[in-house]
Structure 1
């Protein structure tokens, strides 16, 4: 861990803070570790201040915003090994590392299955089945999940596209309508490009689905259906396999349920797509 320069800076500026800024600072002093795992929406609700006030506070201490603030806190307040993996310690041997990571990944799958809303999943499935067009948005590590979603749905004959470029995401979103579905994938629920694209899709009339780890996060404000994952990740460990496994768990359930609903059509397309790529294998 580094010296807690960020917290020291907050203390040094405390007397110059406004009433709201002091409220934010007081909350940080009491919950410095918990904040690392909070979305800005959760922090806002727990601290009883607006998200805008939090962003302004971060800028007042010379940070770009809330995500950078969490990154700095993670550097200063969490052991370096925990930023590689929350369960790992510096003196762990290979066998312990194997066991701890395996247990953490299994926990992510189990906890995701527990938190996943069947009602939200049903809404999402019905929307997919009724849609003429499906566009999927994800950037960074979530772009790979978006690409996997496209691959899976194409295998069962559903026309869809995935976008990781923010400009293409926005252009896609404004071209959607009431017969379209937009899926935004963001572990934090605060990825600006994905949130903005889903907001545009909703404004255009599309049915919107968010796959995220945080029910109270910016992306869920624009989602007709929220499919939650449950994995723990520090900002320095962004894109970790544990969060990816949780996303893929949701996606696999989603895809399988849609395939079963499509019945023979899905099974016929599985055979056709399998035959189509067969010549590509030795």
Structure 2
């Protein structure tokens, strides 16, 4: 999985002008670029071969040939999975809202799957497996994702915390150590409160996992493992809808990988917690 076009689209806002024109041309003519030489692409976008090569390396590829190979694979995946792009407008019917929201959530999951790097994923889940304590940080809808992760990991006997209060997040972070892991959840990768927390955690020797968008952000620079998610929000899909779905999916992947790593032990704890929850429910339902 490569997510080439998503990487190109996200890079437009951050690369230098000479490389920006290369990115914009690729987005407009992806199929044509697959059959071009570096000189042809440079000429078509009024840039230089050196700028094309710098751009390809800057977004994570070995060179232009490697980029074209990955782009060709990306286009074949897109042709199979790309859904019709739709947006919502004022006055849309409930039927259309239902269709658009569902299709965009599916597209976000598909795009995120292309962006997920297997080596980074292995690194992240191994850090979680080895951690004495896992601290999760998120603000707003990202905090809800952190809370969901706590519920999952605690059921397989992993010590986890997630606080909605910023001061408690900092207190928790400063008490981490070299055998602990901080998980930062921020689609923008620039949330001030979360950045401060992982800086504190890092200063205590803790490892940092970040779940964020594909971009060169302050948060990614502090991370020991980075997991990228894809999303596209607009005025009618606010509250981080598609990014929330994509991030929850990454949490599910990490949780399942950890559970399968120690299958018998995880199954024992899952059954035990299930029994305790059932017992508490039965007691709560009894008349006094």
Task: State TM-score, norm by structure 2.
Answer: 0.67
Map 1:226-245 → 2, pairs under 5 A: 226-234=226-234, 238-245=238-245
Name the structure 1 match of 2:130. 130
Name the structure 1 match of 2:202. 202
Segments of structure 1 that go 5 or more residues without pairing to the other structure are 1-36, 49-85
The secondary structure found in structure 1 opposite 2:184 is strand
Q: 1:190 to 1:234 in 2, by over 3 A?
A: farther
Offset of 1:142 from its aligned partner? 0.5
Question: Is the contact between residue 146 and residue 185 of structure 1 (CA under 8 Å) also seen in structure 2?
Answer: yes
Q: 1:238 to 1:175 in 2, by over 3 A?
A: farther
Question: What is the distance in 2 between the residues matched to 1:96 and 1:186?
Answer: 29
Q: 1:195 to 1:268 in 2, by over 3 A?
A: same
Question: What is the distance in 2 between the residues matched to 1:186 and 1:118?
Answer: 20
Question: What is the distance in 2 between the residues matched to 1:231 and 1:44?
Answer: 18
Question: What is the distance in 2 between the residues matched to 1:141 and 1:172?
Answer: 20
Name the structure 1 match of 2:116. 116
Map 1:91-240 → 2, pairs under 5 A: 91-234=91-234, 238-240=238-240
Offset of 1:239 from its aligned partner? 2.8
Name the structure 1 match of 2:74. none
Q: 1:252 to 1:46 in 2, by over 3 A?
A: farther
The 10-residue stretch of structure 1 (161-170 or 219-228) with the greater mean CA deviation from structure 2: 161-170
The secondary structure found in structure 2 opposite 1:106 is helix
Question: What is the distance in 2 between the residues matched to 1:198 and 1:42?
Answer: 27
Task: State TM-score, norm by structure 1.
Answer: 0.68
Name the structure 2 match of 1:246. 246
Question: What is the distance in 2 between the residues matched to 1:236 and 1:208?
Answer: 33
The secondary structure found in structure 2 opposite 1:205 is coil
Offset of 1:216 from its aligned partner? 1.8
Question: What is the distance in 2 between the residues matched to 1:123 and 1:183?
Answer: 13
Question: What is the distance in 2 between the residues matched to 1:119 and 1:151?
Answer: 26
Q: 1:129 to 1:280 in 2, by over 3 A?
A: same
Deviations 1:94-148 (A, max 9, x none): 2222111110011111111111111111001111111111111111110100000
Question: Is the contact between residue 189 and residue 214 of structure 1 (CA under 8 Å) also seen in structure 2?
Answer: no
Name the structure 2 match of 1:17. none
Q: 1:192 to 1:133 in 2, by over 3 A?
A: same
Segments of structure 2 that go 5 or more residues without pairing to the other structure are 1-8, 19-85
Question: Is the contact between residue 120 and residue 226 of structure 2 (CA under 8 Å) also seen in structure 1?
Answer: yes
The secondary structure found in structure 2 opposite 1:189 is coil
Question: What is the distance in 1 between the residues matched to 2:235 and 2:137?
Answer: 21
